[in-house]
Amino acid sequence: MNNKTIMVCLDGSKNSLRGLDKAILFAKQSNAMILGVHSDTSFSAFSAVRAPILPEKKWKKEAKALMNIAKKKVEKNEIKFEGIVIGGHSSGIDLTIFANNPANKIDQIVIGSRGMGFPKELFFGSTSNFVLHKAKAPVTIVK
């Protein structure tokens, strides 16, 4: 039985897939399951509720493809995988709210750093940096 859940933030970038590789390594060591979470921020105007979990039929093509890649990669390593897409306003806030919800039982978070570079990060703030400082569970940032 899986007693630990590792949340991997997936955005389709090379670094998020590197994060997934690292999460697979952690999951093997701790007999954990992997929860792949993607934040779809295109719903911002419509979602009054913060970061609702979207039913699979509402997932965009890109999100479906991303989750399929992740699922194959994880299950090839004989690790349980579940994919979730949340519709929200801002990836950092949405991922943190999801991770901090006790009902989701997140033990560890792995997030890839997209490496936007210093000037952009100054103005926009980095998603991985936000999650690192606001999430309750331990966070591993993969470069």
| pLDDT tens figures, 66-101 | 999 999 999 999 999 999 999 887 889 899 999 999
Question: What rounded mean pLDDT belongs to the chain?
Answer: 88
Q: Which residue has the tokens 């105007």?
A: 45
The pTM assigned to this predicted structure is: 0.89
Going from the C-alpha of 142 to that of each of 13, 26, 81, 114, 129, the distances in angstroms are: 12, 13, 19, 9, 11
Indicate the DSSP class of residue 137: S
CA distances from 125 to 7, 19, 26, 61 (A): 21, 19, 27, 27
Phi, psi of 110 (to 5 degrees): -120, 125
Dist CA 60 CA 19 (whole Å): 22
Residue 48 or residue 53, greater confidence: 53
67 vs 56: CA distance, rounded Å: 11
**44 has pLDDT over 60:** no
